[in-house]
Amino acid sequence: MGNVAVIGSGTWGTAVAHLIAGKNVAVRMWTRSADVADAINATHRNPRHLPDVELAGVMASASFEESLRGVDAAIFVCPSSYLRSIASSCAPFIASDLPVIVLTKGIEAQTGFTMVELLEDVLGNPSRIACLSGPNHAEEVSRGLPAATVVASSDEACSLYFQDLFNTSMFRVYTTSDVTGVELCAASKNVIAIANGMSVAMQLGDNASASLMTRGLAEVTRLVVALGGDARTCLGLAGVGDLIATCSSEHSRNRALGSFLVGGGTLAAFEEKMQMVAEGAVACKTVTELARLHDVEMPIAEAVRQVLWEGRDPHEIIETLFERPVKAEQE
């Protein structure tokens, strides 16, 4: 683990580069902008994301070939909408046995693939591919605050490799073989967080937020089980852990998006203001399409989709959710 490539220089990519470099691992960070790469190399800080975080031991480049040359592992941390094109550009420089992990959360719109399935499709050799997910806000991880996460892979040796790479005294890493469960939880929780952000902006109270989170978890669990995942994963770090953090935290861009929509804002205006992608905006479409395909009921996710992509009023849609026919809790 002498050299590691981090493909992506956003907030989470910057935090991850800082985390791993702190273990005396040389990090090469790919960034789309040559100007950002030059700034990181000159000042050891990312001028666009987490600029107060020192990136000692991190060298940046806008070249995929340079970023991946001679590395022992590759970490993909880029928006889900761009992952295929970026991975395809990286493919010529990634050996068939190089360990690869994806920290991106989402479902590909064109194929319905999870992020691991996408990388398997582009890079081949699934046994060396893993994903990482959990309640891991970049702002806190970069400050060395305590956090825990889970690495999932179909191959135990791959999981253990990345567990060792990421684990520190303040960043505790667990492993699982339930890749499907981890990835579906990761994509879906962002959608529920948008709904909760709407509720918070409407000042509907803590009871409403708790209800949305709990029923949201039920939706996610139904989807996970329908696609062959383990329901227990939904009660772990990638499931309820990440759901609570994303729905509740001031750092959550998806919760912030929900609040922004209630105030009359648009998705485009939000992303322009934040200079970051809210993955839940895309996921509400891809997750609900996947749910329909497998005959899984996800009313909260459907409501978010209707607000973002069909012009429904947030106030009206939240009221509609609470007016749905009651039923047994286990249904």
Per-residue confidence (pLDDT) for residue 34, from 0 to 100: 97
Q: Cα torsion for 127, 133, 136, 138, to the nearest 10°?
A: 60
Task: Label residue 273 by pLDDT band (50, 70, 90).
Answer: confident
Contact 291, 298 (CB under 8 A): yes
Examine the residue annotation and report whether 189 is marked as an active-site residue of this protein: yes
How would you class 74 by CB atoms within 10 Å of its CB: exposed for 0-12, middle for 13-18, buried for 19 or more?
Answer: buried
Checking if the pLDDT of 275 tops 90, the result is: no
CB count, 10 Å around CB of 170?
15
276 vs 86 pLDDT, higher one: 86
Asked if the 3-177 domain carries CATH number 3.40.190.10, the reply is no
The pLDDT of 250-264, averaged and rounded, is: 93
* Domain spans, the chain: 3-177, 180-322
The pLDDT of 254-280, averaged and rounded, is: 90
Q: Cα torsion for 306, 307, 310, 316, to the nearest 10°?
A: 90
Checking if the pLDDT of 318 tops 90, the result is: no
Per-residue confidence (pLDDT) for residue 231, from 0 to 100: 97
In the chain, what are the helix, strand and coil shares in percent, each to the nearest 5?
55, 10, 35
Q: Which of 22-31, 236-245, 267-276 has the lowest mean pLDDT?
A: 267-276
Task: Label residue 248 by pLDDT band (50, 70, 90).
Answer: very high
Q: What is the DSSP string of 221-243?
A: HHHHHHTT--GGGGGSIIIIIHH
Checking if the pLDDT of 154 tops 90, the result is: yes
Q: Which of 75-84, 253-262, 267-276 has the lowest mean pLDDT?
A: 267-276
80 backbone φψ class: left, alpha, beta (φ>0; ψ -120 to 50)? alpha
Q: Which of 105, 266, 91 has its CA nearest to residue 187?
A: 105
The pLDDT of 247-258, averaged and rounded, is: 93
- Topology (CATH level 3) of domain 180-322: N-(1-d-carboxylethyl)-l-norvaline Dehydrogenase; domain 2 (1.10.1040)
Task: Label residue 328 by pLDDT band (50, 70, 90).
Answer: confident
Q: Rounded mean pLDDT of the chain?
A: 95
**Could you read off the pLDDT of 182-196 as tens digits, one per residue?**
999 999 999 999 999
The pLDDT of 221-226, averaged and rounded, is: 98
Contact 209, 179 (CB under 8 A): no
Q: Which of 19-33, 219-233, 264-278 has the lowest mean pLDDT?
A: 264-278
Cβ-Cβ contacts under 8 Å for 250 (sequence gap 6 or more): none
Per-residue confidence (pLDDT) for residue 319, from 0 to 100: 85
Cβ-Cβ contacts under 8 Å for 60 (sequence gap 6 or more): 9, 28, 29, 30, 31, 36, 37, 38, 40, 41
Cα–Cα distances (Å) from 267 to 137, 271, 278, in that order, read 21, 6, 9
The pLDDT of 61-89, averaged and rounded, is: 97
Per-residue confidence (pLDDT) for residue 178, from 0 to 100: 98
Q: What is the pTM of this model?
A: 0.95
Per-residue confidence (pLDDT) for residue 1, from 0 to 100: 64
Per-residue confidence (pLDDT) for residue 241, from 0 to 100: 98
Per-residue confidence (pLDDT) for residue 286, from 0 to 100: 95
Task: Label residue 257 by pLDDT band (50, 70, 90).
Answer: very high
11 alpha-carbon distance from chain centroid: 12
Checking if the pLDDT of 69 tops 90, the result is: yes
**Which among 189, 273, 285, 327 is annotated as catalytic?**
189
**Could you read off the pLDDT of 102-138 as tens digits, one per residue?**
999 999 999 999 999 999 999 999 999 999 999 999 9
